[in-house]
C-alpha cells in the first residue's frame, strides 16, 4: 500500500489506474479507524480493482471547535490497519485539501433542514466541501459510506446528483459491537463505565421497532423519548421517525414505503448517533 500526502502524487496514481481501465473503489474517512471502516474497505476490495481510502479530519464539517480538538487521531495505527486492504491511503494536510478558503455552498433543500441539519449548522456543507474535492481527486467508480450516518448518505447521494458525478454510492450496513453499540470513532472517548451503558441506545431502538407493529408512530416516538428521559446519564438531542428517502418527518408508519428512526444522544459528553429501519 502506498501512503500519499499530496494531490500531485495522488493524481499520478489515479491516472495510471484510469489508463489501465481499472475500476476504483473509494472510502473517505476521518481516521480513528474501527471495524466499521474496515468493513467498507473489504467490500470495496471485492467490488473494485483498485481501492483508495482517505484519512483526513475535515475541519469544515465541525461546527464546534472543541469537538474538532477532541476528535481521536491515530494516523500510524490507521495506516497499519488499512495496509492489507487498500492500495492507496491518501492522508493530506489541511493546506493540501484547502489551498484557498472554501466558499462554495450546496443546496440540499429540505434534507439539510432536519435532524443533524439544525443540530449541527454548516455540518453537511463542510462534508460536501471535502467529499466533492476528494471525489474530484480520486475519481472513483464506487464510494462506500456506512448507514450509521444515515442522513450523510442521503446528502452525498444528493451531492452526486447536483454535481453529475459518475459515481455509484454504496451504503453499507451498520457494524455493531457484540453488545449492540454502533461502532464509531467517538466511542473511544467514553469512560469504561459509560461505555457499558451505551448499548441502551440500540436496545431502545430494537424495542421501538418491535412496538411499531402494534403501536402508532406517536406512541413509538413517545416510548423512545421516555426511555431516554428515564436515565439521567443520557440526554436525548432528537429522535425522529422519517421517510427513509426524503428524511422528512412522517406522522404514520403508512405514510412512506421505507421508514427510518434516527437518534442522537449525549452520553458522558460524547455525541452518539444511531438509527433503526422500521420498514
Containing 126, the helix (H) or strand (E) segment is helix 123-138
Residue 234 neighbours by CB distance under 10 Å: 20
CB of 183 to ligand PAF, least distance (A): 12
Length of the chain, in residues: 279
Q: Does 30 bind ligand PAF (CB under 6 A)?
A: yes
Phi, psi of 106 (to 5 degrees): -125, 140
CB of 71 to ligand PAF, least distance (A): 10
Residues identified as active-site = 37
Q: Does 131 bind ligand PAF (CB under 6 A)?
A: yes
Q: Does 175 bind ligand PAF (CB under 6 A)?
A: no
Stretch of residues binding ligand PAF (CB under 6 A), selected from 64-72, 80-88, 111-119, 126-134:
126-134
Q: Does 28 bind ligand PAF (CB under 6 A)?
A: yes
Stretch of residues binding ligand PAF (CB under 6 A), selected from 23-31, 176-184, 212-220, 229-237:
23-31
Q: Which is nearer to ligand PAF, 130 or 247 (CB)?
A: 130
Of these, 48, 61, 184, 204, which contacts ligand PAF (CB under 6 A)?
61
CB of 154 to ligand PAF, least distance (A): 13
Q: Which is nearer to ligand PAF, 146 or 217 (CB)?
A: 146
Instruction: List the one residue out of 226, 225, 259, 227 whose CA is nearest residue 244.
Output: 259
CB of 30 to ligand PAF, least distance (A): 4
Q: Which three cell numbers stand for residue 107?
A: 443546496
Q: Which is nearer to ligand PAF, 131 or 228 (CB)?
A: 131
Residue 63 neighbours by CB distance under 10 Å: 14
CB of 279 to ligand PAF, least distance (A): 25
Q: Which is nearer to ligand PAF, 61 or 187 (CB)?
A: 61
Decide: residue 140, CB within 10 A, 0-12 exposed, 13-18 middle, 19+ buried. Answer: buried
Binding mask 132-171 for ligand PAF (x = CB under 6 A): -----------------x--x-------------------
Q: Does 184 bind ligand PAF (CB under 6 A)?
A: no
DSSP secondary structure of 69-101: HHS---HHHHHHHHTTT-SEEE---HHHH-SS-
Strand partners, 176: 182
8 A C-beta contact, residue 61 and residue 130: yes
Q: Does 44 bind ligand PAF (CB under 6 A)?
A: no
The DSSP call for residue 251 is S
Please state, in angstroms and rounded to a whole number, the distance separating the CA atoms of residues 155 and 137.
19
Instruction: List the one residue out of 148, 151, 125 whose CA is nearest residue 63.
Output: 125
Helix (H, G, I), strand (E, B) or coil at 23: coil
Stretch of residues binding ligand PAF (CB under 6 A), selected from 84-92, 125-133, 217-225, 232-240:
125-133
Instruction: With CB under 6 A as the rule, give the number of residues binding ligand PAF.
Output: 10
Containing 272, the helix (H) or strand (E) segment is strand 270-277
Summarize as ranges the residues that interact with ligand PAF (CB under 6 A). 28-30, 58, 61, 127, 130-131, 149, 152
Amino acid at each position: 500500500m502506498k501512503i500519499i500526502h499530496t494531490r500531485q502524487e495522488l493524481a499520478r496514481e489515479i491516472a495510471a489506474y484510469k489508463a489501465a481501465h481499472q475500476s476504483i473503489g473509494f472510502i473517505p474517512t476521518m481516521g480513528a479507524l474501527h471495524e466499521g471502516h474496515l468493513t467498507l474497505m473489504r467490500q470495496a476490495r471485492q467490488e473494485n480493482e483498485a481501492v483508495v481510502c482517505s484519512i483526513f479530519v475535515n475541519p469544515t464539517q465541525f461546527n464546534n471547535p472543541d469537538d474538532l480538538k477532541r476528535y481521536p487521531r491515530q494516523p500510524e495505527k490507521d495506516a497499519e490497519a488499512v495496509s492489507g486492504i487498500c492500495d492507496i491511503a491518501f492522508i493530506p494536510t489541511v493546506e493540501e485539501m484547502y489551498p484557498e478558503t472554501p466558499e462554495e455552498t450546496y443546496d440540499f433543500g429540505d434534507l439539510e433542514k432536519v435532524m443533524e441539519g439544525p443540530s449541527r449548522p454548516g455540518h453537511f456543507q463542510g462534508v460536501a466541501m471535502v467529499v466533492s474535492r476528494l471525489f474530484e481527486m480520486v475519481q472513483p467508480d464506487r464510494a462506500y459510506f456506512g448507514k450509521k450516518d444515515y442522513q450523510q448518505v442521503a446528502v452525498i447521494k444528493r451531492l452526486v446528483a447536483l454535481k453529475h458525478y459518475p459515481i455509484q454510492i454504496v451504503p453499507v450496513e451498520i457494524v455493531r459491537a457484540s453488545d449492540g453499540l454502533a461502532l464509531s470513532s467517538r466511542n473511544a472517548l467514553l469512560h469504561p463505565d459509560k461505555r457499558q451503558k451505551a448499548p441502551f441506545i440500540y436496545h431502545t431502538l430494537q424495542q421501538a421497532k418491535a412496538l411499531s407493529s402494534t403501536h402508532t408512530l406517536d406512541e413509538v416516538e413517545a416510548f423512545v423519548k421516555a426511555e431516554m428521559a428515564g436515565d439521567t446519564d443520557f440526554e436525548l438531542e432528537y429522535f425522529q421517525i422519517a421517510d427513509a428517502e426524503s428524511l422528512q418527518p412522517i406522522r404514520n408508519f403508512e405514510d412512506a414505503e421505507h421508514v427510518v428512526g434516527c437518534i442522537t444522544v449525549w452520553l458522558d459528553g460524547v455525541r452518539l448517533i444511531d438509527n433503526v429501519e422500521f420498514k
